[in-house]
Structure 1
Amino acid sequence: MCTLLLPFSTAFASGAQTAGAGEWDKLGTYTYIYSSKPVYSSGGDFRVCLSSSAGFSLTIHLYEDDPGSNQDEYVGANYFSPGECHTFKNIGKFVDGDNRKAEFYAYDYSGKYVTVTFYD
């Protein structure tokens, strides 16, 4: 008889979503028309993935949400095919406010339902 021993992580058993250093932390999956809700990022790099079931390609713009009368800051844009991900690099300059976080949201002009997943 042969026994196979596999390492077991308590983080995995508890359902934790936080990845280790150098790995992506999933911030959530959101479906929207025109604009997603903002998600919090601590800086570094930020990843956006378009759902593989999108059925169409489009350009997604990334903005940093600034509350009140402050104008939202434009981070950049990428053209996405279904299932494709793009990484926005070195976005630490957008970290601000009392919470020391950047609040990023996706925006597109398609007028269609779009589903994206954000990673930090």
Structure 2
Amino acid sequence: MKNSIEMKVKRRRTLLLALTLALALPFSTASASGKDGTAKIAASVSVVRANGDVVTPMGAGVWDYLGQRSTSSSENPSNYVYSTGGDFKYKVVSGPGGGAWYQLREYDPDNADDIITDPYGYSLFYLYPGDTLIYRGISGAVDGDNKKAEFYVKEGFSGSATVQYWD
């Protein structure tokens, strides 16, 4: 009789633990799209607060420079760069000296632009001039007939900044 009660208690503890772990997952990462209809694509993200190429890319082993562009304050800009996926990075060259919020997006002419997030669902990063953001495993953003992603950086302030892109 005593073993039967102990077994029931163990089962209940196990069930409670399983439920607790299931509910501990962030709900923001369980959703594939945002409230505004924008799709979200997760990638491993690193912020590098150093000058120079201190992080090497996965794959071919060298970063391909894609150019310098102004940031955008609206969706569907024309100043995007093409990426084949894999690893992607951008560096804030100029912008507010006190830092600002930046967000990487993938341009989609036929629907809302995709927002690139980290694995936890965060997409906005507070960066200073000189900071570099590196995205690992960003191939999920590649789409369209050209089999490329069209990336741009949207800033969260009035004004603009300049960023450099690498693929």
Deviations 1:42-94 (A, max 9, x none): 000110100157523111101111112x2211103322111110101211001
1:93 has 2:140 as partner: yes
Gaps of 5+ in 1: 1-19
Aligned length in residues: 100
Q: Hey, what's the Cα distance between the residues in 2 that align with 1:90 and 1:97?
A: 18
Q: In the TM superposition, what is the alpha-carbon distance from 1:25 to its structure 2 partner?
A: 0.7
Q: In the TM superposition, what is the alpha-carbon distance from 1:101 to its structure 2 partner?
A: 0.2
| Cα distance change on mapping 1:25 and 1:54 into 2, 3 Å | farther
Q: Hey, what's the Cα distance between the residues in 2 that align with 1:100 and 1:34?
A: 26
**SS of equivalent to 1:93:** helix
Q: Which residue number corresponds to residue 163 of structure 2?
A: 116
Q: Tell which structure's C-alpha radius of gyration is larger.
A: 2
CA RMSD of aligned residues (A): 2.0
Task: Please tell me the residue identity of whatever aligns with 2:88.
Answer: F
Task: Please tell me the residue identity of whatever aligns with 2:73.
Answer: Y
Misfit runs of 4+, over 4 Å: none
| Structure 1 or 2: more strand by fraction | 1
1:53–1:83: 8 Å Cα contact kept in structure 2? no
2:73–2:158: 8 Å Cα contact kept in structure 1? yes
1:33–1:111: 8 Å Cα contact kept in structure 2? no
| Cα distance change on mapping 1:81 and 1:109 into 2, 3 Å | same
TM-score (norm 2): 0.54
Q: Which residue number corresponds to residue 60 of structure 1?
A: 102
Task: Please tell me the residue identity of whatever aligns with 2:115.
Answer: Y
| Cα distance change on mapping 1:32 and 1:52 into 2, 3 Å | closer
| Structure 1 or 2: more helix by fraction | 2
Structure 1 segment 9-88 matched on structure 2, within 5 A = 21-34=60-73, 37-51=79-93, 55-68=97-110, 70-75=111-116, 76-88=123-135
Q: Hey, what's the Cα distance between the residues in 2 that align with 1:38 and 1:88?
A: 16
Gaps of 5+ in 2: 1-58, 117-122
Question: Which of 153, 156, 162 is the aligned partner of 1:106?
Answer: 153
Percent of pairs with identical residues: 40
